[in-house]
Amino acid sequence: MSREPILIVGGGLGGLTAALALARRGRPARVLEGATEFGAIGYGIQFGPNVFHVFDRLGLTEQVMAVADSPPAVLMLDALTGKELVRIPTGASFRARFKHPYIIVHRIDVHNVLLDACRQNDAIELIPEAMVTGFEERGDSVAVTTADGRTFSGDALVAADGVRSLFRAKLIGDGEPQPIGYVALRTIVPMAELKADVPRDCVVLWSGPGLHIVHYPLRHGSEFNIVNVFRTAAHAERLDAAAARAELEHAYRNTQPSMRALIGMMDLRWRRSIGDRAPMRHWHQGRIVLLGDAAHAPLQSLAQGAGMAIEDGLCLGEAIHVADGDYQAAFRRFEAARLLRTARVQLESRSLWDFYHLDESLARDVRNASVAEWDEAHLFDCLAWLYDGAPVPGGR
């Protein structure tokens, strides 16, 4: 049995899920979060039915559904012509096929569901303002130090510290995530202030040459989440406001009027360069294991980065439980269970990224003609590998 809690560095969706999964099996967890408070960045997030295999096990489905919405469809529209290219129905037939819904939810709300569950569990200790700056393996334990000089030790360590993971930098040393020459902007506006003539109840992806916009409602239709992404040579995370506005308007100059109305609503202060990681075979060393974006950050084109972090959390908790204190065996089992699935998400996200952003060309015409032949049965078959969920050690 553990003598000390397992340290989890990072209280994002992956880290908190891992804490709950460990605690559920009687393993105490101590979560160290660098921010002053446990909390999420305030934007929307989409989840496929696969995450409900985890939420069911953790007893959180009802709480998540209370704060989430299920759209009637996910649409792909042509940014240049406004034509509907793909419609994935996510209503009754989807739910019958995948047994669980597709949801859109405010990230803060789903984060709070996990946080509340952690707070109610005596086996989980949440420590904010604990920015980990160093670590040391000591044979049968791991010790970390924080920016303010505190030391914590644990039986093993789960690095759930995101795409710019300190632990990945030290253990793998493969540098920063690879920028791909695109930036993202995100905004939430009250639904009552939405001026653009766009579908308000669905998830919509407008696909154009070197750009896209994704939007969907949040909080039972009271808010509207907009993400826009475009190719730029100036992918600095900060740019002066006038230059950023001019660049945005230039990028979207040939798109539909409703898209131009949406970009007029964007908050230019949150601007992020987009990058991902290449798939990698091993995520652990000694008593330290990487999880979520620290291990396998994808582009957001499949909207599955957080979904994979949540699946990882449950899988790792079960792997540690099944291995009963043998961390090497547990981490090997965890990697084996998660490698191909997360690598596929990374690779398919890259393919889909190119597919969304095709320049005006014959290739784009071929894409549009091909997707016109996709019916519901075909779309559901294509998504089954992902949405049917993933096995975990010790049984589903």
Q: State the residues that interact with ligand FAD by CB under 6 A.
A: 9-15, 32-35, 45-46, 130-132, 160-162, 166, 184, 186, 227, 292-293, 300, 303-307, 309
Strands (E) in the chain, as ranges, are: 6-9, 29-32, 44-47, 73-78, 84-89, 103-106, 124-127, 132-137, 142-146, 151-154, 157-159, 178-190, 203-208, 211-218, 223-231, 271-276, 284-285, 288-290
Nearer to ligand FAD, 275 or 325 (CB): 275
Q: What distance in Å separates the CA atoms of residue 340 and residue 347, rounded to the nearest whole number? A: 10
CB of 26 vs ligand FAD, minimal distance in Å? 23
Nearest distance in Å: CB 176, ligand FAD: 14
Q: How far is CA 110 from CA 99, 183, 214, 274, in A?
A: 20, 25, 20, 23
The distance in angstroms from the start CA to the end CA of the chain is 24
Pick 143 or 329: Cβ nearer ligand FAD = 143
Q: In b/e form, how buried is each residue of 67-105, taking b as 16+ CB within 10 angstroms?
A: bbbbbbbbbbbbbbeeeebbbbbbeeebeebbebbbbbb
Shortest reach from residue 121's CB to ligand FAD, in Å: 18
Contacts of 354 (CB under 8 A, 6+ apart): none
Q: Which residue, 115 or 303, has its beta carbon nearer to ligand FAD? A: 303
Of 168 and 364, CB closest to ligand FAD: 168
Q: What gap in Å lies between CA 377 and CA 93, rounded to an integer?
A: 10
CB of 225 to ligand FAD, least distance (A): 9
- Give the nearest distance from C-beta 295 to ligand FAD in angstroms: 8
Tokens encoding 110: 């789903």
For the bound state, the minimum distance from the C-beta of residue 14 to ligand FAD, rounded and expressed in Å, comes to 3
The smaller minimum CB distance to ligand FAD, of residues 87 and 106, is found at 106
The smaller minimum CB distance to ligand FAD, of residues 34 and 101, is found at 34
